[in-house]
Amino acid sequence: MFIFFGLFADPVSDVLLRISEAWPDLKVVRLEHPISAIAARFGENHYDLSRDKIPTDILLMTERLSSETPSARFLLLRTECFGGICDNRGRILLDGRTLFEAEGDGALRRLIKFWGADIGPEEIFEPLGRSFRWG
């Protein structure tokens, strides 16, 4: 089983610094493809593996970061894969509010389209690969 829980944000102003201040232990990287974004992966100490929901404290902090960074998009993403089948769920936040939520078939593709990129029906997104280098 592979589980990913992360945050992606437009690389504007001091968003990388704000994410690092909110969660100093996260590994934060800059993505250029398929989207231009600041990406952070939460460790297991930030969420319950047995629950598939986005933890309330992380959602509230992301809403705050989003409201403090006007017009920057934020994506909270949870992915669980077992035997090559992945379940994705997430939400896009803008100006401190949830703009869009998706889960199930095609959810990752619909979420990434908010950045103007189409990752295709196979939903291949490099940060979700086991070989992706975080930090």
Q: Is residue 85 part of a domain?
A: yes
Instruction: Give the E-state strand segments of 1-135 in sequence order.
Output: 2-9, 27-31, 37-41, 73-82, 85-94, 97-103
Q: How far apart are CA 37 and CA 43, in angstroms?
A: 19
Closest C-alpha to 42, from 60, 28, 53: 28
pLDDT tens digits, 46-82: 876 666 678 889 999 999 999 999 889 999 999 988 8
**53: buried, middle or exposed (CB in 10 Å: 19+, 13-18, 0-12)?**
exposed
Question: pLDDT averaged over consecutive 10-residue blocks of the chain (135 residues)?
Answer: 91 92 93 95 77 83 95 93 88 96 95 95 89 83
Q: Is residue 65 part of a domain?
A: yes
Structural domains of the chain, count = 1
Q: Is residue 131 part of a domain?
A: no
What is the span of the domain harbouring residue 65? 2-125
* Number of Cβ within a 10 Å radius of residue 65: 20
Coil/strand/helix, residue 51 = coil
Q: Is residue 26 part of a domain?
A: yes
